[in-house]
Amino acid sequence: MPADHAMVHATESTNLADLLERILDKGIVIAGDIHVKLVEVELLTIQLRLVICSVDKARELGLDWWSRDARLNRDAAQQESAIAAFGERLSRIEQAVGVPAGPAAIERRVTA
């Protein structure tokens, strides 16, 4: 083997950070179904769907369920507590004024 023919490695390596960035940018879907049958009678079906993507990509796809979940969204939780506090305050005012509380009383006031 002549000396001018050095061994060249054609390796194009991608580090883990680049790979993760590509996956989050483009997104990846993993899907699978599991069927459990006994003598041609289906006992159990499990459908697995996994979407891995960035938050921005999820919003773009309409998969931003966390923004509408009151348990995860601080603004929604604050609104719920404000509504509950308003209801309690209204009940105290109605009691102080002598207006009967409850759905029937509200209906009577609306129709009167």
What is the pTM (predicted TM-score) of this model? 0.41
Residue 93, SS3? helix
Query: Which amino acid, residue 110?
Result: V
| Integer Cα distance of 110 and 7 in angstroms | 90
pLDDT tens, N- to C-terminus, the chain (112 residues) = 455 566 655 455 678 888 888 888 888 888 899 999 998 888 999 999 888 888 888 888 888 887 777 677 667 667 778 888 888 898 888 888 887 665 555 555 555 5
